[in-house]
Structure 1
């Protein structure tokens, strides 16, 4: 167990996780500006991008270094040494909160392991900003980040999430949005959804409706910009007593999952879980149909 008292005296420096604007520079907080001015090190995902931000707020960094997915091990070791020597480090991403879908989480874990205090400097966040304007349930929500690119893994993740009772938030690239909308619609049915793009920027836009309506909209509209996709998961809606697979035979139930990209073994396992049967019972039912087509 480890107890952190963020504002007590510490023998080490402090790792500050500093939120930066996700579009509109007016979303920068006074505290964030002060921390960036005072920090001994500023670790940035893209130093060129961060230098523009620092220049805008007239901040001259003492040391500005890169910290990203491809150099996080070497750069992370340098930053941890500096922290252990009593120097403060401010970590920033290109936009929003660092350590969310971001390699900054590795630096956070390394600091915690060395008893170095980690302090958040809150600010703009795309996922939560999208949630509060989506009109979807905000009492319970799950941030799922970016979905896998490979079809089989994509469908497996969506299957895991479909029973969640609340709103699921995804980050998505514009060139993948249509594929993702279609995949979610196929596996979750026609759910309430919102596509939120270009948050806090000039072209900020919210498309609210069902998944089917969003698919139709983007059939004629080119998806552009940075996108958050929010969907009310199937588990969140009131369900009647009819289960989606009730009218399917066991072999048809298995075949459904195979059509979604799962292999036969995994499809039998999923059908068994849906029906509350053993995999052996599912296998025997499929075998019986093969013998008596």
Structure 2
């Protein structure tokens, strides 16, 4: 392996507002020989929105990650600088890339984080209680009975729980949370963070569900500890102007 090997940079990109890109991320993306992304369309759109020149794109998703590792390793061995991005936010945490990083690291190639936007950290930053610990549950299983059983298990943990799901399942998830944790359980729901449609809901599960009422949005749902105080009625923060 030559001395001048390439580096794989894990680059956080905006979760909605493209002005949130960091100066360092711009430099890394501009200098990269190739961008690794989940979808070619999303990768191309990102470069255009950031006014960056077109770059060769490699797709990396849950279906082809293992197959792409060999090609990426060859590029790094040739000295290419590669940047991994997700559709938005910080890569790998809830997206493909872990297997790539593991094998690339074992081969001796450097992997470096380029920190920046994260929907999880953004949601944490607007909590109205001190977060000392939490459990990231992510996406629940799709089977209804399994989902409910998992929610009951999470309730027994007695720590703040973070949940995610697709926009069209937001109402369903809030209904399930109300059944498992109780209609009065306090929670914080952050919708469409950094976008003009951004809205934060705080309050008991059943009342937040009523306030949301069919809205479809990218979201982070944080269920407070059972002992955490919460407002009696849901509050909606005004979106930024």
TM over 0.5: yes
Alignment pair present for 1:23 and 2:16: yes
Q: How far apart, in 2, do the equivalents of 1:53 and 1:47 lie? A: 10
Cα drift, residue 136 of structure 1: 4.2
Cα drift, residue 99 of structure 1: 0.2
Please, which of 53, 57, 63 is the counterpart of residue 46 of structure 2? Answer: 53
Q: How far apart, in 2, do the equivalents of 1:69 and 1:180 lie? A: 24
Cα drift, residue 237 of structure 1: 4.3
Cα drift, residue 54 of structure 1: 1.1
What is the root-mean-square deviation in Å for CA atoms of aligned residues? Answer: 2.0
Corresponding residue for 2:185? Answer: 191
Cα drift, residue 206 of structure 1: 0.6
Alignment pair present for 1:208 and 2:196: no
8 Å Cα contact 1:194-1:209 kept in structure 2: yes
Corresponding residue for 1:140? Answer: 133
Return the structure number with greater helix share: 1
8 Å Cα contact 2:62-2:96 kept in structure 1: yes
8 Å Cα contact 2:189-2:219 kept in structure 1: yes
**Normalised TM-score (structure 1):** 0.71
Alignment pair present for 1:72 and 2:61: no
Q: How far apart, in 1, do the equivalents of 2:80 and 2:167 lie? A: 40
8 Å Cα contact 1:16-1:121 kept in structure 2: yes
Corresponding residue for 1:172? Answer: 165
* Residue-by-residue CA offset, 1:83-139 (whole Å, 9 max, x unaligned): 233322100011001102111222112212222221111111111111221324422
Cα drift, residue 215 of structure 1: 2.3
Q: How far apart, in 2, do the equivalents of 1:47 and 1:75 lie? A: 14
Q: How far apart, in 2, do the equivalents of 1:136 and 1:109 lie? A: 36
Aligned positions of 1:106-117 closer than 5 A: 106-117=99-110
**Normalised TM-score (structure 2):** 0.85
* Residue-by-residue CA offset, 1:234-288 (whole Å, 9 max, x unaligned): 3x549xxxxxxxxxxxxxxxxxxxxxxxxxxxxxxxxxxxxxxxxxxxxxxxxxx
Aligned positions of 1:1-293 closer than 5 A: 12-189=5-182, 190-218=184-212, 221-234=213-226, 237=228
Query: The residue matched to 2:131 in structure 1 has which SS?
Result: coil
**What runs of 5+ residues in structure 2 fail to find an aligned partner?**
230-241
Q: How far apart, in 2, do the equivalents of 1:165 and 1:140 lie? A: 11
